[in-house]
Structure 1
Amino acid sequence: MEETAASSGRKTKSPFIFIVGTTSLAFVVSQLDVSIVNIALPQISASFKADISELQWIVDAYTIAFAVLMLSAGGMSDLLGSKRLFQFGLLVFGIASAGCGFAWNPFSLIAFRVLQGVGAAAMIPSSLSILNQSFAHEPTQRSKAVAWWTAAGGVSIAAGPILGGLLMHVSNWRMIFFVNVPICLIGILLSIKLTESEKHTNKGFDIPGQFTWMLALTALIAAIIELHHLGFNNPIIYGALIFSAIMFIIFLRIERKAKSPILPLDLFKSPVFNVLVLQGIVLNATYYGTVFVLSLYLQNVLGYPSLTAGMAFLPLTAGFIISNLISAKLMAKYGTRVPIIIGLTISAIGYAGLLIAQAHTPYWQLFFPFIIIPLGMGLAVPAMTTGILSTVTKTRSGTASAVLNTTRQAAGAMGVAVFGAMTNGGPEAIVHAITVSSLISAAGIVCILLLIYRYLKISK
């Protein structure tokens, strides 16, 4: 089966399944490392005698690096070619994963997690750009490809705790990183046969913008993570928050004047683009933060061993698989608006269902929210991604996907930082964190639902 190339109307050498499968490998490993680490946190803590703050850094070091570099990576994808950057990202991610597996203390693990984020930042916008340019002249095929791509990532996020539990049952926490190495190697070998995408040769590289964005986001998340240790009145905390705000203002001023900004502000002239990016922010912040808290809840409150806790996340995997496939069919028939509205409604109900979680809640009562939350997200995220790509020209697809995924990863790091800070204080604090985070998540999704209903038109 041959597909029409986005770039020139000619037929690609690679079939649909091969293109989607190869690009999805990058999304699989990058998203797997978002959630697989969560289930290993108690074992890592015991191995290194790490506290909650260090555990948050082990999770967020990856997502921060991922987020701060992805804007530049999106532009580099359009400038240098998606295939080349895709292969570079896989190589760096594989090397960094091996380093995580050999880490000797919390600091070394955090450092290699940063390097993983560098690789992930290169892989994600380039892989999505390859998909968009491969099927730009075939909207139905593009929607289908994006749905399968996001399904792979969604399943990986949900399957991370399960796979982590299994790997730690047969070995230890180090194996959750070593498993990435062969996947990256396979991805590099398969990508050789991919067709290089069009390049946007008049783009430059925005070093001042990249630097100020990195400082703004890192200072903000660092302040939130360390808040419960130092207190808000500590000059380090409020100093970091003020510094972050100043850097963000400077960043916006730089982007307004830059010839080749890493964040083209004209993208935000589209209300649809803005609402869909905001949707991605809310979904990632709530989901990443909730999974972090639930991983501690299952093991530190309910007393589940790592394998049992991992298997408890199985409904999340099933939910993502089912709903991502349904989303593609709904988009083909109704466009992007319907699956987003249905998906957000279902997710809000799922988060509200977590309010029943208490110190001795039986697992069967948690099954409903565990499967409902990913069902809703799996419907909404592919449609959201397709909607974002439809608002830009094909030569800016790498930049647009980078903006979406940058904001999503930054939001995920924020979710872990904010929700994770609530867990400091033992089992009672963890239970309280679930209640508060569930209310915040449900309310945030309802707000986004109203904006989607208002601004996103019914169209295919």
Structure 2
Amino acid sequence: MPGIAVRAAKRFEQSTTDTFAHGSAARRGWTLFIACAGVALVIASMVALNTALSGIAAATSATQTQLTWIVDSYTLLLACLVLPAGAIGDRYGRRSALLVGLAIFSVASAAPLLLDSPSQIIAARAMAGAGAAFVMPATLSLLTAAYPPAERTKAVGVWAGVAGSGGVFGLVGTGLLIEVFDWRSIFWTLSIAGLVLLLLTLTIAESRDSTAPRLDVPGAATIGAALAVFVFGILEAPAHGWADPRVLACLVGGVVLAVVFGVIELRRRHPLLDIRLFRDPYFGTGSAVITVVYLATFALFFLVTQYLQQVLGYSALAAAVALSPMAIPLLSLSALSSWYLPKLGLRTVVFASMVLVAAGFLCMRTLTADSSYLEVCWPLLVISTGFGLCTAPTTSAIMTAAPDQKQGVASAVNDATREVGGAMGIALAGSILASSYHHHVAGALVGLPEPVRGPASDSLAKALAVAHQLGPDGLQLAERSKEAFVAATNNSYLVMAVIVAVASVFVTILAPGRDGEQLDLVRRRRGRGASGAKSVAGPGNTIPPVSQDESVGTARG
């Protein structure tokens, strides 16, 4: 009897997996909808509170540091738990991981409705980030398991487009809520949306790899600590400076822990993440490009939102609506990636996209304190076109390069690069903006009393508040402060353009072309011949034979 029960359980599990992987088009489409809704909820929650910080500060008496951590605690927990969460989904079920993550997210999002101290809200947001860490990798790995290889790139393209546009959706939604209700409505909305999505997730089939090994606990603990320490250092850099000993200690400590993680994984029979995957041109290119793209994305949102609200005088809702056209090229180009990627190859797509992003940032430097919306909109469309061109292809490259039984981990790598890139983007943009603004506004404060100079030199928001208190005498201070802020944002845009341009050169050298070859490895591979080599197929390409020691042994979709 026990043997019959075991065999019946195995048949049921196999039939469930087969039904999931080979279900009808309608069932796959429903899975795609739920996956996109899940990633949109997670990304929207990252930016949701940016428009509500003033209301939270007034209601809870939170300090500026506490307000920062109300936003950042979510990102920190999401970044450090996403890799272990992806592995747990592979082992115990991706739908189950999605359900657990949504349950945690929903309860944690509702907690601030009952809690009123800043420290309690920070803790609740951190818990919501922990739930989001289970949601993000599960949504993408469910798609790659549900769709056959021929249709997978298109589905991943839609998911990537929604993920790239999630920040815009979040800004528009929360701006509308703040316009009609108070800041607590954001938490109500996030909690209810999570619960509704949890119920909808019950309607899709489970997906798991029955042969997946147990969780690599040493690897999970090490990489979680590495990401937590490194991201913590990045988040603290704008407040304390990049040369602060605590910041440097965190950055160095995170890198050291990452190296330790690599050593551990090389010695594990069943590693959490086979780091040799990064030698694969598709996996390595995808990871690098997504990191740079999200660094630029979050830096852009950080800078342009403040410009629209504080310089041009837009409300939170108006600023969000002003950014909404960016979603058009992001969604359309991501959905079309399965058409243009095979024709152009990953190398050409990556290079073209990053050139557009760098050019768009340079165009943003033409803005002034009295620019029109049209002058703001067209550079944003150039940048979002670059984002949309490469987001889906690089995501597909990561997922296709990883073995089928590691789709959850591959999705988690994709998500972790987004979180680290986003945190670095905000920290870099914030640091450059603060130091540059302080330098440019100094001339406008000459001759003013110290009680005015001190706050006005800290930020544009404080300068405008001081100018308002001065009455007519404050008009000149307000105008000069806005000009200083625009000059500071121009410096930030220039740095972002340089970072993206330099990255485009290195990443393009590493990226495989339409023929599947990398520029810097072509001669080496051709010189070694085909002895003991095997062919590895890429997403829409074929890589020439590589020697056994260079192969990562991955199963391609």
Is TM-score (shorter-chain normalized) higher than 0.5?
yes
Please report how far the alpha carbon of residue 277 of structure 1 lies from its aligned counterpart in structure 2 after TM superposition: 0.4
Superposition TM-score, scaled by structure 2 size: 0.75
Give the whole-Å Cα distance in 1 for the aligned partners of 2:130 and 2:393. Answer: 27
> Measured at CA, do residues 355 and 413 of structure 1 come closer, stay the same or move farther in structure 2, by a change above 3 Å?
same
The counterpart of 2:138, out of the listed 101, 116, 126, is 126
Give the whole-Å Cα distance in 2 for the aligned partners of 1:168 and 1:317. Answer: 21
Residue 514 of structure 2 is matched in structure 1 by: 458
Equivalent residue letter for 1:220: F
Please report how far the alpha carbon of residue 406 of structure 1 lies from its aligned counterpart in structure 2 after TM superposition: 0.9
Indicate the SS of the match to 1:416: helix
* Percent identity of paired positions between Structure 1 and Structure 2: 28
Is residue 2:23 matched to residue 1:12? yes
Residue 160 of structure 1 is matched in structure 2 by: 170
Equivalent residue letter for 2:378: F
Equivalent residue letter for 2:47: S
Q: Which moved more, 1:318-327 or 1:372-381?
A: 318-327
Q: Give the conservation status (yes or no) of the 8 Å contact 2:20–2:145.
A: no
Is residue 2:435 matched to residue 1:402? no
Is residue 2:41 matched to residue 1:29? yes
Equivalent residue letter for 1:307: L
Detail structure 1 runs of 4+ shifted over 6 Å in the superposition: none
Please report how far the alpha carbon of residue 6 of structure 1 lies from its aligned counterpart in structure 2 after TM superposition: 8.2
Is residue 2:54 matched to residue 1:54? no
The size of the alignment, in residue pairs, is 455
Residue 219 of structure 1 is matched in structure 2 by: 229
The counterpart of 2:315, out of the listed 280, 305, 309, is 305
Give the whole-Å Cα distance in 1 for the aligned partners of 2:20 and 2:74. Answer: 38
Q: Give the conservation status (yes or no) of the 8 Å contact 1:97–1:116.
A: yes
Residue 384 of structure 1 is matched in structure 2 by: 394
| Residues 308-364 of structure 1: CA deviation (Å, up to 9, x unaligned) | 222221222333233323334323655545544433332222222221234333332
Q: Which moved more, 1:114-123 or 1:150-159?
A: 150-159
Q: Which moved more, 1:57-66 or 1:18-27?
A: 57-66
Residue 425 of structure 2 is matched in structure 1 by: 415
Equivalent residue letter for 1:195: A
Please report how far the alpha carbon of residue 200 of structure 1 lies from its aligned counterpart in structure 2 after TM superposition: 5.0
* Alignment RMSD: 2.8
Is residue 2:298 matched to residue 1:288? yes
Give the whole-Å Cα distance in 2 for the aligned partners of 1:98 and 1:256. Answer: 42
Please report how far the alpha carbon of residue 173 of structure 1 lies from its aligned counterpart in structure 2 after TM superposition: 2.1
Equivalent residue letter for 1:29: L
| Residues 153-197 of structure 1: CA deviation (Å, up to 9, x unaligned) | 223222221212111000022222321223222322222232222
Equivalent residue letter for 1:17: G
Q: Give the conservation status (yes or no) of the 8 Å contact 1:337–1:383.
A: no
The counterpart of 1:444, out of the listed 475, 488, 499, is 499
Please report how far the alpha carbon of residue 21 of structure 1 lies from its aligned counterpart in structure 2 after TM superposition: 0.4
Indicate the SS of the match to 1:357: coil
The counterpart of 2:286, out of the listed 276, 282, 290, is 276
Q: Which moved more, 1:306-315 or 1:72-81?
A: 306-315
Equivalent residue letter for 1:134: A
> Measured at CA, do residues 76 and 190 of structure 1 come closer, stay the same or move farther in structure 2, by a change above 3 Å?
same
Indicate the SS of the match to 1:329: helix
Indicate the SS of the match to 2:116: coil
Give the whole-Å Cα distance in 2 for the aligned partners of 1:430 and 1:42. Answer: 20
> Measured at CA, do residues 106 and 329 of structure 1 come closer, stay the same or move farther in structure 2, by a change above 3 Å?
farther
Give the whole-Å Cα distance in 2 for the aligned partners of 1:22 and 1:238. Answer: 41
Please report how far the alpha carbon of residue 39 of structure 1 lies from its aligned counterpart in structure 2 after TM superposition: 2.8
Residue 373 of structure 2 is matched in structure 1 by: 363
Q: Give the conservation status (yes or no) of the 8 Å contact 2:157–2:334.
A: yes
Give the whole-Å Cα distance in 1 for the aligned partners of 2:503 and 2:414. Answer: 15
Indicate the SS of the match to 1:440: helix
Equivalent residue letter for 2:496: S
Q: How does 1:165-244 map to 2 (within 5 A)?
A: 165-230=175-240, 235-244=245-254
Indicate the SS of the match to 1:458: coil
Please report how far the alpha carbon of residue 385 of structure 1 lies from its aligned counterpart in structure 2 after TM superposition: 0.9
| Residues 199-223 of structure 1: CA deviation (Å, up to 9, x unaligned) | 1534222333333333333333333
Q: Which has the higher contact order (CA 8 A, sep 6+)?
A: 1
Give the whole-Å Cα distance in 1 for the aligned partners of 2:407 and 2:310. Answer: 43
Give the whole-Å Cα distance in 2 for the aligned partners of 1:80 and 1:236. Answer: 38
Unmatched segments (≥5 aa) in structure 1: none
Unmatched segments (≥5 aa) in structure 2: 1-15, 435-457, 461-480, 516-539, 541-557
> Measured at CA, do residues 393 and 244 of structure 1 come closer, stay the same or move farther in structure 2, by a change above 3 Å?
closer
Is residue 2:123 matched to residue 1:111? yes
Residue 77 of structure 1 is matched in structure 2 by: 89
Please report how far the alpha carbon of residue 436 of structure 1 lies from its aligned counterpart in structure 2 after TM superposition: 3.1
Residue 251 of structure 1 is matched in structure 2 by: 261
Q: Give the conservation status (yes or no) of the 8 Å contact 1:281–1:408.
A: yes
Please report how far the alpha carbon of residue 238 of structure 1 lies from its aligned counterpart in structure 2 after TM superposition: 4.0
Equivalent residue letter for 1:450: V
> Measured at CA, do residues 193 and 327 of structure 1 come closer, stay the same or move farther in structure 2, by a change above 3 Å?
same
Residue 138 of structure 1 is matched in structure 2 by: 149
Please report how far the alpha carbon of residue 92 of structure 1 lies from its aligned counterpart in structure 2 after TM superposition: 1.2
Give the whole-Å Cα distance in 1 for the aligned partners of 2:67 and 2:20. Answer: 49
Please report how far the alpha carbon of residue 305 of structure 1 lies from its aligned counterpart in structure 2 after TM superposition: 2.1
Q: Give the conservation status (yes or no) of the 8 Å contact 2:432–2:488.
A: yes
Q: Which moved more, 1:262-271 or 1:431-440?
A: 431-440
Give the whole-Å Cα distance in 1 for the aligned partners of 2:241 and 2:69. Answer: 17
Give the whole-Å Cα distance in 2 for the aligned partners of 1:447 and 1:104. Answer: 46
Is residue 2:50 matched to residue 1:38? yes
Please report how far the alpha carbon of residue 280 of structure 1 lies from its aligned counterpart in structure 2 after TM superposition: 0.6
Equivalent residue letter for 1:373: I
Is residue 2:459 matched to residue 1:426? yes
Q: Give the conservation status (yes or no) of the 8 Å contact 1:275–1:451.
A: no
Please report how far the alpha carbon of residue 45 of structure 1 lies from its aligned counterpart in structure 2 after TM superposition: 4.0
Please report how far the alpha carbon of residue 97 of structure 1 lies from its aligned counterpart in structure 2 after TM superposition: 1.6
Give the whole-Å Cα distance in 1 for the aligned partners of 2:364 and 2:284. Answer: 29
Indicate the SS of the match to 2:387: helix
Please report how far the alpha carbon of residue 144 of structure 1 lies from its aligned counterpart in structure 2 after TM superposition: 1.3
Greater C-alpha radius of gyration: 2
Q: Which moved more, 1:384-393 or 1:200-209?
A: 200-209
Residue 77 of structure 2 is matched in structure 1 by: 65
| Residues 375-398 of structure 1: CA deviation (Å, up to 9, x unaligned) | 221221111111112212211111
> Measured at CA, do residues 313 and 106 of structure 1 come closer, stay the same or move farther in structure 2, by a change above 3 Å?
farther
Equivalent residue letter for 1:145: A
Give the whole-Å Cα distance in 1 for the aligned partners of 2:222 and 2:407. Answer: 23
Superposition TM-score, scaled by structure 1 size: 0.89
The counterpart of 1:435, out of the listed 472, 490, 502, is 490
Residue 92 of structure 1 is matched in structure 2 by: 104
Q: Give the conservation status (yes or no) of the 8 Å contact 2:101–2:131.
A: yes
